[in-house]
Amino acid sequence: MKIVIFLNALGLGGTEKAALLWAEGLQKRGHTLHLISLLDGPRRKNFENLGIEVTLHSGDSLQLQKTLQSLQPDLIHAHCPGFPHTGDILGAALAGIPKIPVVQTNIFGRLDNPRENQWTDFRLFVSRTSAIQAALAQNPEFPQKFFENHSYCSNPLLPEEPLSSQEIQKFRESIGVRPDEILWGRIARPETHKWSLLSLVAFRLARKKNQKIKLLLREPPPGVALSLQTGRDREAYIILKETDNEQELKLTLSSLQGVLHATLFGESFGYTLAEAMALGIPSITNSTPWGDQAQLELIQHHQTGIQASIPETMREAILELSNHPEKRIQYGQAARQSIQKLANIDQSVDRLESIFQSVLKKIPHSFQSQDYQELKEMKNRFQETQFGHHPQEKYLLNALYKQIVIKDTNTSMHGIPSWLILAR
């Protein structure tokens, strides 16, 4: 197949990482690839290092149309957010030329851009949870028909071999961490929706009980960094800048005993969690029923980590894993096994390639019945647990869900603290 990959930008996010890994996998299977992006960025060099030609477009649909006519691809693999965006120029470019099939990787599990139905033949969600949420948003009855032209293809991840204890110890020493200290980490881009004060509030509560815990942040928003660097407990924090150096990121993750992952709007996949899992590191994450929820698919409660959605339960989770190294090892090993299966690069490329072929041949895809049964069972478990595991969690998350999603103004917000109201 001759495939055009279509991206809005070439940044360091999970979208570009997944596009790169899929491209490498497809290329190894003999497919020809060309990348079109509307914005340049640091990921460009990664694609070019694979020998994939990159074309940049400013957003002119006529120019894009000419490029597509010149390339004459068999199929376009477009990475889209699920709401109106600059990449919608693809529709205008395709309107004036013979039909080119489009398979969309839907990044955020949203179906809020009906225009793209005119040029999109098939949608793939980046996690099973994202597919479930999208299906329920379109029809609460969860009909099997939805999966005729929708499926999932979990973001892929290359297998990782843990670093040596000497390498890890050397890095920990370089950032001022003693051998007897327990290092937690929060790694994310400095975007507001990627951060929640929940993890910081919970960490401070836990540190009152265990002075040997520290928190590494890479890279927090500027305001958060300034607050921590000037606070009375500033010795408890290590703040590092964002980096695109894969080895440095691996060193950073490998130095941790656990990951604290708390966001305002959740994850449609969650590469930071997945990468930690691949290195055998357990995580603590929060539920966000008003947003994306794939973090709950990755971090299974008391199996591959702990789900905790209020400061009190997150504090207890931090202390439980800090004080019991055998649990960290148990959860970490389970996490590694789980992500090796869930984000297996070969299986992910298999599924992607199969969907491409079914779209080109205009035949039903082979996963439809299997997808429906699997996701229906998962949906039932998901709906039972997404509002937390503790009575206070259930109260707070339900109240926020009603305020944000259902917009029930009669719901009492009494007792909901400021760190969680920020999500509104």
Task: Tell me the pLDDT tens digit for each residue of 197-219.
Answer: 899 999 999 999 999 999 999 98
Instruction: For residues 208 and 1, give the distance between their C-alpha atoms in angstroms, rounded to a whole number.
Output: 59
Query: Which range (151-155, 223-227, 279-283, 361-365) has the least confidence?
Result: 223-227
Q: What is the mean pLDDT of residues 247-275?
A: 94
Closest CA to 185 of 295, 235, 259: 259
CB atoms < 10 A from the CB of 155, how many? 27
* Res 109: pLDDT: 96
pLDDT at residue 314 tops 70? yes
Q: Give the percent of the chain with pLDDT over 90.
A: 83
Q: Domain 165-342 belongs to what topology?
A: Rossmann fold (3.40.50)
Instruction: For residues 64 and 71, give the distance between their C-alpha atoms in angstroms, rounded to a whole number.
Output: 11
* DSSP SS3 for 188: coil
* Res 420: pLDDT: 55
pLDDT at residue 423 tops 70? no
* Cis peptide bond prior to 219, omega within 30° of 0: yes
Q: What is the mean pLDDT of residues 304-327?
A: 97
Query: What is the enclosing helix (H) or strand (E) of 377?
Result: helix 368-385
pLDDT at residue 235 tops 70? yes
Instruction: For residues 402 and 397, give the distance between their C-alpha atoms in angstroms, rounded to a whole number.
Output: 9
* Res 407: pLDDT: 77
Which regions of the chain carry the CATH code 3.40.50.2000?
2-156+344-377, 165-342
Q: What is the mean pLDDT of residues 159-181?
A: 94
* Res 89: pLDDT: 97
- Residue type present at position 265: F
- Cβ atoms of 291 and 264 closer than 8 Å: yes
Cα 310 to chain center, whole Å?
21
The CATH architecture to which 2-156+344-377 belongs is 3-Layer(aba) Sandwich (3.40)
Question: Quick one: pLDDT band at residue 422, thresholds 50, 70, 90?
Answer: very low
Q: Which residues contact 167 (CB under 8 A, 6 or more apart)?
A: 251, 254
Average pLDDT over the chain reads 93
Question: Quick one: pLDDT band at residue 236, thresholds 50, 70, 90?
Answer: very high
Question: Quick one: pLDDT band at residue 408, thresholds 50, 70, 90?
Answer: low
| Residue carrying the six token digits 């490029």 | 67
pLDDT at residue 414 tops 70? no
End-to-end CA distance of the chain: 45
* Res 220: pLDDT: 87
* Res 418: pLDDT: 54
Q: What is the mean pLDDT of residues 246-262?
A: 94
Q: Which residues contact 144 (CB under 8 A, 6 or more apart)?
A: 368, 369, 372
* Tokens (6 digits) for 315: 């504090």
* DSSP SS3 for 85: coil
Q: What is the mean pLDDT of residues 29-49?
A: 97
| Residue carrying the six token digits 């509030």 | 201
* Res 411: pLDDT: 62
Instruction: For residues 400 and 290, give the distance between their C-alpha atoms in angstroms, rounded to a whole number.
Output: 8
* Res 410: pLDDT: 67
Q: What is the mean pLDDT of residues 402-422?
A: 63
Q: What is the mean pLDDT of residues 376-383?
A: 93
Entry pTM: 0.93
Q: What is the mean pLDDT of residues 344-362?
A: 97
* Res 424: pLDDT: 36
- Cβ atoms of 227 and 197 closer than 8 Å: no
| Residue carrying the six token digits 């941790």 | 256
* DSSP SS3 for 413: coil
- Cβ atoms of 254 and 187 closer than 8 Å: no
CB atoms < 10 A from the CB of 209, how many? 13
pLDDT at residue 415 tops 90? no
pLDDT at residue 22 tops 50? yes
Q: Cα dist. 166→163, 170, 171, 173, 322 in Å?
A: 8, 6, 9, 11, 22
Q: What is the mean pLDDT of residues 175-193?
A: 89
Beta strands across the sheet bearing 2-7:
53-56, 32-37, 2-7, 75-80, 102-106, 122-125, 150-152
Q: How buried is 302 (Cβ within 10 angstroms: 0-12 exposed, 13-18 middle, 19+ buried)?
A: middle
Beta strands across the sheet bearing 258-261:
237-240, 213-218, 182-187, 258-261, 283-285, 305-307
Higher pLDDT, 287 or 410: 287
Our separate counts of H helices and E strands in the chain read 17, 13
Q: What is the mean pLDDT of residues 148-152?
A: 97
